[in-house]
Amino acid sequence: RVQVRDREIKVNIFDMAGHPFFYEVRNEFYKDTQGVILVYDVAQKESFDALDAWLAEMKQELGPHGNMENIVFVVCANKIDCTKHRSVDESEGRLWAESRGFLYFETSAQTGEGINEMFQTFYSAIIDLCDNGGKRPPSSMGVGFTKEQADAIRRIRNSKDSWDMLGVKPGATRDEVNKAYRKLAVLLHPDKCVAPGSEDAFKAVVDARTALLKNIK
């Protein structure tokens, strides 16, 4: 039992064992879920990459009539105390979460940082969901940026070189490079784009254009 705002609520939390061996046990717990906490280790990139598989499993278990839009999702970037070994930065995790309309928190189970805030926000969001007839209030679903912007930031982050970053083929002309640059600059300029990582992506695009134009006559 926990106290949230002006009321006491009873919370049941089930820790879903991640090993495939436990699938037949955990698949019973997806039905009637009101909230989900997705946790990954910021020092283990594979745990972050696995978030998509967890969503896919849940969607499969809920079936064609299940509605994941009316479930409160929180993403916890955990073990932020391990700063020296961090491999997933905040902007990448936040972008993944917020582009899906999920809440995002930086946490440390070791030090307790962010834990209370996360749970209080999580519980409050579920209360709002219940008060709204089991549907997420519209305000909690707005992300403030487009899928095109989020996809562009991810692509730039994962680009192997400057050509790939601008989306042009090696040997492109100055005009083609500048055209590709202008399109991305308008899409990702920090004054216009609030997506996590937009500022770094914009700077990377500027640097890529500069590097390419130096070698194009």
Confidence check: pLDDT of 74 > 80: yes
CATH top-level class of 2-132 = alpha beta
Decide if 174 contacts 213 (C-beta within 8 A).
yes
Confidence check: pLDDT of 71 > 60: yes
Pairwise pLDDT comparison (88 vs 217), residue with the higher score: 88
In terms of pTM, does the model score above 0.95? no
Give Cα 72 distance to the centre of its chain.
14
Decide if 207 contacts 216 (C-beta within 8 A).
no
| pLDDT per residue as tens digits for the range 32-51 | 899 999 999 999 999 999 99
Confidence check: pLDDT of 58 > 60: yes
Q: What is the pLDDT confidence band of residue 67, given thresholds at 50, 70 and 90?
A: confident
pLDDT at residue 210, as a whole number: 93
Half-sphere exposure of 64 toward its Cβ, with a 13 Å CA cutoff? Answer: 0
Rounded to the nearest 5 percent, the helix, strand and coil shares of the chain are 50, 10, 40
Pairwise pLDDT comparison (25 vs 127), residue with the higher score: 127
pLDDT at residue 8, as a whole number: 92
| pLDDT per residue as tens digits for the range 100-157 | 889 999 999 999 999 999 999 999 999 998 888 888 766 554 567 888 888 899 899 8
Among residues 217, 86, 205, the alpha carbon closest in space to that of 155 is found at 205
Decide if 47 contacts 77 (C-beta within 8 A).
no
Name residue 169's amino acid: K
Q: Which fold has domain 147-215?
A: Helix Hairpins (1.10.287)
Write down the domain spans for the chain: 2-132, 147-215
Integer Rg of the chain from CA: 21
DSSP state of 35: E
> What is the C-alpha to C-alpha distance for residues 118 and 146, in angstroms, rounded to an integer?
25
